[in-house]
Amino acid sequence: MTDPRVLSQQLLERLASSGELAPAWSDAFAAVPRHQFIPDTIWITRGAELIPVHRAEDPQEWMRRAYGPAAMITQVDDGHPARPGRRERSITSSASQPNVVAGMLDALDVQPGMRVLEIGTGTGYNAALLAHRLGSAAVTSVEIDPDLAEQARRALMTSGYPLAVITADGTRGYPPHAPYDRIMSTAAVQQVPYPWIAQTRPGGKILTPWGTPYHNGALVSFTVNGDGTAHGRIVGNVAFMFLRDQRIDASVDDEECDETTARARHTRVAPYSVAGDYDASLAIGMTVPGCSVIMASDPRAELTGTLWFVDPDTHSWATLRYQPHTRTYPVHQSGPRNLWDEVEAAYHGWCQAGRPGPQRWRITVTPEGQQVTLTETSAIHPAEKHAAGA
């Protein structure tokens, strides 16, 4: 069955029955046809390759995916895809999972009468949901990619949501329509752009995916204060692509990374402990700046492989071999930083602090920069209590 009305109803029922769709957003999800915002060519993963699916060639598969539970890849290589099989092909835009869209809109805590700035229009679907609830005049969306912006603009107009789609760098916000009650980013950041703070009214909120080179998976809600600062706390687990000017360029060059000339040691810290545990990897990312972790499986042996820790800026790297049925793991390090030593120390520090979860971290943004702190408790900052009416 590929009738979009039936598929849309099934999507709505899935989200409602799982409790992932807040009642306040039910009408918007029922009214906005998701497939009208999906480009005619999407991409699927097949092994290490990205394979295009064209609506004209396989309309049933395209429509099924448009209303499916998974995210859809809607752009690769910033709109200029390399030929099939090229290693540099990368995902640069997507339509998020419907349950993630619903969860983020609920976390935005928006109310009728508010003005919203969206950073990262993408397909335009999220902007349409906002416009359905608030009215098109209340929503401004900024998209850095001209092609994506134009596609979204057309889809929004066709669907009856003629909101302002601005082709511009979202890190600068959009001053002409400020101040905003809410700013919502659909791209992750490492550093929250201060213009977002400056363009949000006191008491307003900013919702954005946030991460580090080591850990991309935190949804942070900031409350903006009257003194030009903002306090943020982690309210969810989402992983999004980073803003273009904050992308992380970390890779492994086997020819440059020669373990025979590296510093060698062993550790009793299991690889899963530093890369598979959400709370631990979040803390390590907070503590070890500029370090990315890459997991590489060994195709020759099941359940074995290597964790790579990489800092491109200092040309430092480390490896941690993982394999079953062992209590010690070989480590190799090279470059001016001993990355594994830093990661291991951060992990032990997290354990000694009582293995704090995401609710203990706070992010403060001021005109001078951004600061991350670990609180003694999970208590909400007084400014957040005041904004929430607590």
185 labelled catalytic: no
**Which phi and psi (to 5°) does residue 142 adopt?**
-115, 130
Q: What single DSSP character describes residue 97?
A: P
Q: Which of 8, 93, 94, 96 does the annotation list as catalytic?
A: 96
244: tokens are: 């273009």
Task: Yes or no: say if 307 and 331 are a contact pair by the CB < 8 Å rule.
Answer: no
Tell the residue number behind the tokens 């692509």, with chain if given.
241
- Asked whether 370 and 191 are in contact (CB, 8 A), the reply is yes
Q: Number of C-alpha atoms within 13 angstroms, CB side, residue 229? A: 14
Strand order in 216-224's β-sheet?
Answer: 164-167, 139-143, 116-119, 180-185, 200-211, 216-224, 230-236, 361-366, 369-374
Residues in the chain: 390
Give burial (CB, 10 Å; 0-12/13-18/19+) of 262.
middle
Residues catalogued as catalytic: 96
